[in-house]
Structure formats: C-alpha cells, structure tokens
Amino acid sequence: MSLINPHQAKRYRAGFTLVEILVTIVVVSIGLLGLAGLQINGLRANLSSEARSKASVLANDIIERMRANPLGVAAGAYDGVSYTEADCAGAPPAPFCSSTSGGSGPVDSCNAAEMAAVDAWVWGCGMPVAADVEASGIVHQLTNGTASITCAAPCGAGSAHTITVTWDERSPNASASTTAGESTTQTLTLTVVP
C-alpha cells in the first residue's frame, strides 16, 4: 500500500481543479452559443407567425366588409380589386364614405359601389392617417404586401370570390444580412361566398 504525502495530494488537487474550470468554461460557452441559436430561430418563427396572423386578419376584414355591403357584392363592385404599394401612392376614392376618418361625408351618403371602393381602399392601403400614426392596410402591414379579389364570371350575388394576400418574409436559412433574393413570397388565398 502506498501512502501519499498530504502536501503532494494538495498539489495534485490544485492542478486538477484548474483543468476542470477550463473544461467547464468551454462546455458552458458551447451551451450558450446553442442557446443563442435557439433564440434566433424562435424570433424568426415568431416574425413569420406574426405576418401570417396579420394576413389572416386582413383577409377576414374584407370578407366582413363585403358581407356588410351585399348590394356592392351583387353588383360585382369587389371583382378585380387589386392593391400594391404603388396603387396606394395616389389619392383615396372620392367620396371617402367613412365617418371615422374625417371623410367627405357620412357613410349613408354613398351608394353600394362607392362603399365597395372605399372598403377596398381601406383594406389594401389603410385609412388615411396622420404622419405619426402607423398606417393600416395590407401594403403597410406586410412586407411587400399585395391584395386582390377576383370573382368568376358572371360575378354577382351568390358568386364565390377569391381573396388573395401575398407578402415576403425572410427565408428560414437566411443570414442576418438578408438580401432581397433571400426572401420567400407567402400567399394566403381564401374563397368565400359573402
């Protein structure tokens, strides 16, 4: 049996403790890098989910507007509606029949076609707002957002309308310095009979 001098044992333990600390630092560093990667992936998934939720809410917004204006639907006033960012650079339709936006007149002063034009404008471009207020509408809420409504001929009461909302989102494999080529176009399409 060999006996270790207590002074030698203390010296061995002191050296071994330093190696343990270095290994622990390496292991913890790798774990923290993995945690940071998980956080980044979670944020990307959250942004994608936010865009999909906004698209769904905005699509349902125009469906409810169409249901509130059955005469406009029967006249085919929503057929062929299409909005991109360039379309929203112009003036809103006149008369702008909305009492909540300081429009040109009360809602009941518009006919069904004029109300449909305002509904489509608000859905695609948003309400006219002050410079310090975030604009609503598809082109302002979604990255490169576009909106369209189509209806198979003859379009009228009881016809199915196809509502399409498209937007861009960063590809899951894109780096932090994403360029335009690293985004994917997403589309939400709903077919409804308003």
Each of the 194 residues of the chain gets a pLDDT tens digit; together they read 566 666 665 655 555 678 888 999 999 999 999 999 999 988 888 888 899 999 999 999 999 999 999 999 999 999 999 998 888 887 888 887 765 555 454 555 789 999 999 999 989 988 766 655 556 888 888 999 999 999 988 888 889 999 999 999 877 666 555 554 578 999 999 999 98
Count of domains forming the chain: 1
Residue 37 included in any domain: yes
Distance in angstroms (rounded) separating the CA atoms of residues 96 and 127: 10
Residue 102 included in any domain: no
Distance in angstroms (rounded) separating the CA atoms of residues 79 and 31: 55
Residue 36 belongs to domain spanning? 6-90+124-170+180-192
Residue 95 included in any domain: no
- The per-residue pLDDT for 186 is 93
Residue 25 included in any domain: yes
Residue 56 included in any domain: yes
Distance in angstroms (rounded) separating the CA atoms of residues 135 and 125: 8
Distance in angstroms (rounded) separating the CA atoms of residues 136 and 61: 12
Whether pTM exceeds 0.75: no
- The per-residue pLDDT for 166 is 95
Residue 115 included in any domain: no
Residue 109 included in any domain: no
Residue 11 included in any domain: yes
